[in-house]
Copies of this chain bind each other. A is one copy, B any other.
Amino acid sequence: MATTRVVIGVDVGGTGTKAALVDLSGEVLARSVRPTDIAAGTKGVITVVEDLLARSDEVDVDVAAIGVGASGFINAETGSVTFSPNLTYDDPYIEEALKSRTGLPVIVDNDANAAAWGERAFGGAKGCDHLALITLGTGVGSGFIVEGHLIRGWSGAGAELGHIVIDPDGPECPCGLRGCLEQFVGGLAIARDARALLGEFPDSQLAEVEASAITAETVGRAATDYDELSLTVLRRAGRALGIGLSNVVNLFDPEVIVLAGSVMGAGEPFLGAARDELFRMTNAQRRRPVRIDATSLGKDAGIIGAAALAIDERLGGIR
């Protein structure tokens, strides 16, 4: 029997389902990644978990628990999905599905909650008891740690910063509301806003590609070449993010805000504008400036966070 105890951390996003064998100090030992089938999210989770279990022998480890961070509204108590606008889970009872197949203890939580927990367990905000983590991807997710506890809400549908309304006359959101933060700051919103400005900036780099090929990533890349359209869109999105962060500060008063997600790649025009706006706002309220960090766990934030949850909530926190 192998002597090294590990956990499996799984991160289910709209594009990829990523998993890894993670040791009790947060190190990734082996990976399994596959594209997410958006019609069968749970099947994808089972596949990567079974793959890693099969390989645990060759890496010479014992898997002791499984943690899953999944996009959508998740009830962590039952380990099930209650609402997921962007991704269908063929079996919403993920915890039960994994437990019955593997016999291992399983925890399932929202992906941003998992990432927040990972930052506190193994990241740059280690040990921090008042932490907000915002994931800036296709959409906007968030996890809040208050006095060392994750905020999950009564029915597990809390911590949805992406869906607070910051402009009641703003664009419609797939969640059913209008003017959600995600509609100003998410990757899809940035791409949409760039497309909408093509007429005003006929000389933009982006006018040279198919409108449908414009993504937050292409906007970010064009901005590094000082493309006016892209800079305009990203600065506007950054200011909206600053407003969202000010709302976080007024409600949660965190010690640190950690930012994660692919849209971070849009860089300074976006993040600088957000930081400037937040600084202006906290200063106007005579609050002390809030520390803003980029995640130190990079693309592994979700996997490592899910693993940290499994360690702390299913193995009693042995590290």
Roughly how many angstroms separate A149 CA and B252 CA in the complex, as a whole number? 13
User: Which of these, B83, B152, B166, B252, contacts A165 with CB under 8 Å?
Assistant: B166
Size bracket, chain A contacts: 35 or more
| Inter-chain contacts of A144 with B (CB < 8 A) | 251
Cα(A179)–Cα(B255), bound, Å: 25
**Residue from the list B146, B166, B250 in contact with A146, Cβ < 8 A:** B146
How many copies of this chain sit in the oligomeric assembly?
2
| CB atoms of A167 and B168 under 8 A apart | yes
Which of chain B's residues has its CB closest to A287's CB?
Answer: B157
Interface 0/1 of A277-319, CB less than 8 Å to B = 0000101111110000000000000000000000000000000
Tell me which residues across on chain B come within 8 A of A250, comparing CB atoms: 158, 160-161, 163-164
Q: Is the CB of B153 within 8 A of A253?
A: yes
Inter-chain contact A167/B167, CB cutoff 8 Å: yes
Taking A165-B246, A243-B165, A247-B164 as contacts, is the C-beta distance between A281 and B177 under 8 angstroms?
yes
A243 — which chain B residues lie within 8 A by C-beta? 165, 168
- Tell me, in angstroms, the Cα distance from A186 to B291 when the chains sit together: 31
The yes or no answer to A261 lying at the interface (CB within 8 A) is: no
Complex Cα distance A168/B283, Å?
Answer: 16
- B149, B164, B246, B255: which contacts A154 (Cβ < 8 A)? B255
